[in-house]
């Protein structure tokens, strides 16, 4: 569990680096094996495009709905937690594309009733995530601006993972999320973040697990059509439809 200091740091800065292992060794190895199976079966997708793998592979729910993860998330999200998404992100050696400066929340505009306390766990798989292989970087405190910058400009998607990025980011303020295998970070869904390309001989792999308070309503709009969410812990407070059926209190 996180300490009161951890929670206060996260609220102020929009991120946290606990510098410890999230899963037991055998659980980490199992998750890495699942990732590699998805990578082998990706077809025409790029290695950094393995989004929502748990929609197709229910074995991942054993991790996404686990106490190991939810005990870390609860102090930040609250006791009533919904699972929003997950994503395997792999940057291939030498060729892994940069991730432009962005806010996750900007891609969810209109999909939620509120964007407060949406939290992402980023877990390093197979090896370290560091400056050489394109680790994640954040601008501390930028989540307090609201998460919907109007200062986006187009990017070249042959070298970037997204079609647009936030211009004029103060990169000198950025914090690098350097993680050892099995370590994790936490970040607010509104924080400005990105990553440089992988210029190293080592693949950079992570698994993101994203949660929101069940008091937040997922809006009935076209962008959410077919999207599946799970009640991960506690009770539903917003009348959301879940892929799993909540147990009556």
| Residue 114 confidence (pLDDT) | 96
Query: pLDDT tens across 61-101, in order?
Result: 999 999 999 999 999 999 999 999 999 998 989 988 889 99
| Residue 159 confidence (pLDDT) | 66
Q: Which fold has domain 4-233?
A: Jelly Rolls (2.60.120)
Mean predicted lDDT score pLDDT of the chain? 93
Domain extents for the chain? 4-233
Share of the chain above pLDDT 70, in %: 94
| Residue 97 confidence (pLDDT) | 86
Which residue has tokens 């937040």? 216
pLDDT above 80: residue 141: yes
| Residue 59 confidence (pLDDT) | 96
pLDDT above 70: residue 227: yes
Give the residue-averaged pLDDT of 216-222: 96
pTM of the model: 0.93
pLDDT above 70: residue 48: no
């Amino acid at each position: 569990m996180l300490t009161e200091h951890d929670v206060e740091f996260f609220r102020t800065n929009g991120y946290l680096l606990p510098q410890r292992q999230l899963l037991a060794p055998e659980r980490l190895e199992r998750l890495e094996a699942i990732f590699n199976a998805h990578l082998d079966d990706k077809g025409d997708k790029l290695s950094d495009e393995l989004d929502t793998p748990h929609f197709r592979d229910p074995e991942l729910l054993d991790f996404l709905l686990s106490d190991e993860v939810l005990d870390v998330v609860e102090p930040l999200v609250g006791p009533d937690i919904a699972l929003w998404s997950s994503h395997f992100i792999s940057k291939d050696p030498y060729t892994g594309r940069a991730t432009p400066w962005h806010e996750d929340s900007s891609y969810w505009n209109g999909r939620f009733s509120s964007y407060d306390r949406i939290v992402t766990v980023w877990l390093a798989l197979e090896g370290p995530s560091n400056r050489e292989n394109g680790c994640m970087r954040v601008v501390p405190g930028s989540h307090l601006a609201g998460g919907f910058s109007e200062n986006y400009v187009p990017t070249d998607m042959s070298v970037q993972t997204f079609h647009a990025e936030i211009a004029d980011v103060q990169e000198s303020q950025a914090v690098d999320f350097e993680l050892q295998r099995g370590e994790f970070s936490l970040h607010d869904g509104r924080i400005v973040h990105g990553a440089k390309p992988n210029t190293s001989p080592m693949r950079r792999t992570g698994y993101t697990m994203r949660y929101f308070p069940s008091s937040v309503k997922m809006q009935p709009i076209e962008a959410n059509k077919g999207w599946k969410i799970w009640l991960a812990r506690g009770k539903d407070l917003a009348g959301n439809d879940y892929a799993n059926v909540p147990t009556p209190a």
